[in-house]
Structure 1
Amino acid sequence: MTSMTVTAGPFAGQKPGTSGLRKKTAQFRAPHYLECFVQAIFEAIDAPGKVLVLGGDGRFFGREAAAVILRMAAANGVARVILGQGGLLSTPAASHLIRLNGADGGIILSASHNPGGETGDFGVKYNIANGGPAPEAVTAAIHAASETLTGYRISDAPAPDLDRLGETLLDGMVVQVVDPVLDYAELMERLFDFPAIARMIAGGFTLRFDAMCAVTGPYAVEILERRLGAAPGSVVNAVPLPDFGGMHPDPNPTWASDLYERMMSPEGPDFGAASDGDGDRNMVLGRGIYVTPSDSLAVLAAHAHLAPGYSGGIKGIARSMPTSTAADRVAEALGIEAHETPTGWKFFGTLLDAGRATICGEESFGTGSDHVREKDGLWAVLLWLNILAATGQGVDALLAAHWRRFGRVFYSRHDYEALPVAQAEAVMAELRGQLDSLPGRSAGGLRIVAADDFAYADPVDGSVTTGQGLRVLFEGGARFVLRLSGTGTEGATLRLYLEWPCNDPDQFETETRTMLAPVIAAAEALAGIARHTGRTEPDVIT
């Protein structure tokens, strides 16, 4: 068998974003499109001799793409590819395999929480040797290669059986097919007190985990049901399906509404959680209570020492800029570093590698730690269970105690999805044009003390990232943030983040929208979302 060069490309628009390149599945299936982008990756990383990890979330076209990438890897001189059986690997499990095997990097086939299926979305992301998403220097090199290549190299040999465990050769390249769950499950067992969690469950504690027909199902069944003893069927929608069973695999109250409604019922289980398409996000609930991702980050950071893997304490907390400041309060109380970064897990990588952060989180339902270099949905669920087992408290009591100690930061995110790009940009432009003149003015009855377009200087490598979201800060600590999301594949998604800190225990049970009403009014007065878009309500509220 030999490799051949196919003349094709370049294709415009193959610029990786925060989470790689995401397009409609039909675009990736177009002749030569996937191949040209993968060739750009191989050009950018100098592929000959490299060891790579490969896998994805099981969405439509994933198996076919994995087979193509194996054949291309062989033709480009890659030495070894470690492949999740059947092409499956959750994103955190892929990060762990990269680190565990000392691989040079990995290719993850996923569009995360975006819908799958033939008419859905697909994505390709490259992770570097630390297991984390490629930094901007690498994604820029991939983009540059995509603009100049005139073809791609591929073996004319068929890809090996993706389901057969063990090693085979493909044109001299080793293909190692591994159990996608085993190494990850063993890592979780080292980090958490599985016997204590199992005792809690055996004592009558009930849980429900919605895998949303996505990749986390096999991981959750193995860990929650088989290793921890949760009742069979505690993990629902556990079989990964190419179209996610028609679900939108985004773990929030809108798209995981069945779980949410069940947990709000008096007959609901003690604990509920959901994960997304590729397993890196999580939603956590107790009976009758929803935990915002910002509160979840703060609670996990405050109690991480109760888990064996973090018994020595944590070194720092990092959060994305739009995430609430609840975690900052924890960092201050613990006397550790607090970091505010742009949105995108890659910005946590240098902090984690330098030992300046241990727990990281984003308001978009992503939480993780230095055990991998990705957010990790099931990890967050297990840390919650470890904390509940160690304290003997329910979710509601634990959250109430946390607020009494640190205060409550009321928080919400409003998403306006699939907007015409011109409308979304008009909203951003109107607010951006006022930033310099806002301090000292009032809006919604609130006095503005600062306004800017967020820029970040990495304290480890000195890199500077600008234009990361428009911030308006009010007297007393309230604020709103406005930014365009980079995770969609159709139109534009405008995200409005709203925050109101509160130290009065008598107000902790107030309805969130009531507390945020002045900030909502201020945002509308300054940015004119309804006026520009015609939308009087967001599509999704989290």
Structure 2
Amino acid sequence: MTERIHPTQPIAGQKPGTSGLRKKTPVFMGPHYLENFVQSIFDVVGTAGKTFVLGGDGRYFNDRAAQVILRMAAANGAARVIVGQGAILSTPAASHLIRLNKTDGGIILSASHNPGGPHEDFGVKFNMPNGGPAPEAVTEAMYRRTTEITEYRIWEGQDIDLSRLGRQEIGAMAVDVVDPVADYAALMESLFDFPAIRAMFQGGFAMRMDSMCAVTGPYAVEILENRLGAAKGTVVNATPLPDFGGMHPDPNPTWAKALMDEMMGPEAPDFGAASDGDGDRNMVVGRGIYVSPSDSLAVLAANAHLAPGYAQGLAGVARSMPTSAAADRVAAALGIAHFETPTGWKFFGNLMDAGRATLCGEESFGTGSDHVREKDGLWAVLLWLNILAARRQSVATILAEHWARFGRNYYSRHDFEAIPVEKADSMMAALRGQLAALPGRTVEGMQIEAADDFAYTDPVDGSVSTGQGVRVIFAGGSRFVMRLSGTGTEGATLRLYLERYAPGPEGLTLDPQEALAPVIRAAESLARISGFTGRDRPDVVT
């Protein structure tokens, strides 16, 4: 192999979003595109003598990108890279390896829940030594570096054999190829009551886990079927494929329709779950009942003490601002702190590092705890299984008892995808222009109590994040939130979050869309969504 310095020039648009840089795969495969961004990462974080973790969700171009990054790490003076066999690592498993090995961070190749394939999406993000996504100050520095880069460094030569476990070398840099599942599975076994869950399966409990032809397949088979004794075939779509088998690997009722149909059918198993492209999201379904992510976070918080890893109780619970306030009500009952942060898992990192939050969640099907610094889909499934084994009740019964105690936060998210950016920006600007005049108005029979553009001051380091989403809050706990998502690769995605609180005991069993109808109409009236976008209905409802 020979080390080379390649001249290059800035490429426009390499600004990371909430979860790294995401673009269409052909963009990343273009001349110098991947190399420019990776060199910018290395220039910002430094590489000399450092150790990094590398892996991804196996989507198209994952294997080739990993080889490029390994050679660039060596040329930039890294001492060691720990890489998952086949360049595969789920995002939570990568976070765990960063923390377990006390490395200097890691590069994760994924576009999460976005489709994969030659013409679909690809992504690269850097995680810090705590295992969590790089904070805004770091990603901004990376972006600035992409605007001024003039060269990148790379070793040129044969590929590393990433199918073979063990140590290899690129120049002076060690490359350790590791089993992507083993260390993560051991961590899960330390947190949950595996004997109780195993006994539940032996007693006839049945579940379906849809891994959506994505990265959690090998993890779910090893843990659920091999270690916990679930029936063979419990995990479906278990083989990760570069194009996710043509599936959209987003675990929600729209894209995991086959699982939803099974769970709502006459032969439904006791429990259903799905995970996404890189393994950090989850959907939970009981026999005949769907569990919203906001309700899931609240139920997990209320019952976490049933799992050995959380028997000592929780320090606090944190949720993203668009997530329903259901978890806040649990935290208040438990006498622990609760936090409301902007969207993006990186905002939970400081709270967990400071010991102020144990469980965290986002309405976008992400839940996790301080065992890693990423959301963790399979972890959430296992905590649910632990709770089911301990309480010996169905999902439906657990939800009904939860709502009877805490009330119900009816909740839904409506996604309007691939809107022309200028139309989306005009709509948001028009809504922001109304905010100061909205409090006191009555819309759809609901009085507006407050309206703002959410800003967050981090209670640990004092950093401030502004412009995080427009909130319109009604008296009695109802509200809607609007923001433009930073995870798409084409146009703008408008996310409309809708919430209505029912304290009980009446009105706890309505259809969510029926319960939320006045809030939906209020959002349309105030934001004029159809007028600005030309859309009379969302693309995805969750």
TM-score of the two chains, using structure 2 as the length reference: 0.99
User: Shift of the alpha carbon at 1:506?
Assistant: 2.4
Aligned to 2:347: 347
User: Shift of the alpha carbon at 1:7?
Assistant: 1.1
Q: Deviations over 1:360-419 (max 9, x none)?
A: 000000000000000000000000000000000110001111111111000000000011
Distance 1:113 1:399 in 2: 27
Aligned to 1:537: 537
Distance 1:340 1:289 in 2: 27
Aligned to 1:77: 77
Aligned to 1:508: 508
Superposed, 1:325-474 pairs within 5 Å as: 325-474=325-474
Distance 1:388 1:50 in 2: 43
Q: Deviations over 1:331-379 (max 9, x none)?
A: 0000000000000000000000000000000000000000000000000
User: Shift of the alpha carbon at 1:231?
Assistant: 0.6
Superposed, 1:8-47 pairs within 5 Å as: 8-47=8-47
User: Shift of the alpha carbon at 1:9?
Assistant: 2.2
What is the DSSP-based 3-state SS (H/G/I as helix, E as strand, rest coil) of the residue aligned with 1:430?
A: helix
Question: For structure 1, which segment, 388-397 or 158-167, has the greater mean C-alpha deviation from structure 2 after superposition?
Answer: 158-167
Aligned to 1:99: 99
Aligned to 1:265: 265
Distance 2:403 2:476 in 1: 18
Distance 1:422 1:360 in 2: 33
Aligned to 1:195: 195
Distance 1:159 1:167 in 2: 14
Confirm or deny: 8 A CA contact 1:444 1:525 kept in the other structure: no
Q: Deviations over 1:248-275 (max 9, x none)?
A: 0000000000001110112111000000
User: Shift of the alpha carbon at 1:140?
Assistant: 1.1
Aligned to 1:498: 498
Distance 1:255 1:199 in 2: 32
Confirm or deny: 8 A CA contact 1:415 1:494 kept in the other structure: yes
RMSD across aligned C-alpha pairs, in angstroms?
0.6
Distance 2:183 2:478 in 1: 43
Counterpart residue type for residue 223 of structure 2: I
Confirm or deny: 8 A CA contact 1:157 1:170 kept in the other structure: no
Counterpart residue type for residue 252 of structure 1: N
Q: Deviations over 1:197-254 (max 9, x none)?
A: 0000110000000000000000000000000011111000000000000000000000
Counterpart residue type for residue 45 of structure 1: V
Q: Deviations over 1:155-185 (max 9, x none)?
A: 0232310111001111010000000000000
Distance 1:19 1:155 in 2: 28
Confirm or deny: 8 A CA contact 1:159 1:170 kept in the other structure: no
Distance 2:123 2:40 in 1: 15
User: Shift of the alpha carbon at 1:141?
Assistant: 1.2
Distance 1:144 1:167 in 2: 35
Confirm or deny: 8 A CA contact 1:250 1:275 kept in the other structure: yes
Aligned to 1:66: 66
Distance 2:39 2:534 in 1: 43
What is the DSSP-based 3-state SS (H/G/I as helix, E as strand, rest coil) of the residue aligned with 2:500?
A: strand
What is the DSSP-based 3-state SS (H/G/I as helix, E as strand, rest coil) of the residue aligned with 2:187?
A: helix
Aligned to 2:480: 480
Aligned to 2:148: 148
What is the DSSP-based 3-state SS (H/G/I as helix, E as strand, rest coil) of the residue aligned with 2:147?
A: helix
Aligned to 1:277: 277
Aligned to 1:256: 256
Aligned to 1:86: 86
Superposed, 1:125-136 pairs within 5 Å as: 125-136=125-136
Counterpart residue type for residue 317 of structure 1: V
User: Shift of the alpha carbon at 1:295?
Assistant: 0.1
User: Shift of the alpha carbon at 1:438?
Assistant: 0.3
Superposed, 1:177-256 pairs within 5 Å as: 177-256=177-256
Confirm or deny: 8 A CA contact 1:407 1:501 kept in the other structure: yes
Distance 1:267 1:506 in 2: 31
What is the DSSP-based 3-state SS (H/G/I as helix, E as strand, rest coil) of the residue aligned with 2:218?
A: helix
Distance 2:158 2:128 in 1: 27
Counterpart residue type for residue 451 of structure 1: A
User: Shift of the alpha carbon at 1:426?
Assistant: 2.0
User: Shift of the alpha carbon at 1:505?
Assistant: 2.3
Distance 2:304 2:31 in 1: 48
Identical amino acids, percent of aligned pairs: 71
User: Shift of the alpha carbon at 1:145?
Assistant: 1.1
What is the DSSP-based 3-state SS (H/G/I as helix, E as strand, rest coil) of the residue aligned with 1:297?
A: helix
What is the DSSP-based 3-state SS (H/G/I as helix, E as strand, rest coil) of the residue aligned with 1:433?
A: helix
Q: Deviations over 1:418-463 (max 9, x none)?
A: 1111221122112111000000111122110100000000000000
What is the DSSP-based 3-state SS (H/G/I as helix, E as strand, rest coil) of the residue aligned with 1:506?
A: coil
Q: Deviations over 1:121-144 (max 9, x none)?
A: 000000000000000111011111
TM-score of the two chains, using structure 1 as the length reference: 0.99
What is the DSSP-based 3-state SS (H/G/I as helix, E as strand, rest coil) of the residue aligned with 2:152?
A: strand
Confirm or deny: 8 A CA contact 1:22 1:489 kept in the other structure: yes
Confirm or deny: 8 A CA contact 1:427 1:527 kept in the other structure: yes
Counterpart residue type for residue 128 of structure 1: M
Q: Deviations over 1:79-103 (max 9, x none)?
A: 1000000000000000000000000
User: Shift of the alpha carbon at 1:467?
Assistant: 0.1
Aligned to 1:314: 314
Distance 1:390 1:270 in 2: 15
Structure 1 residue ranges (4+ consecutive) displaced by more than 6 angstroms after TM superposition: none
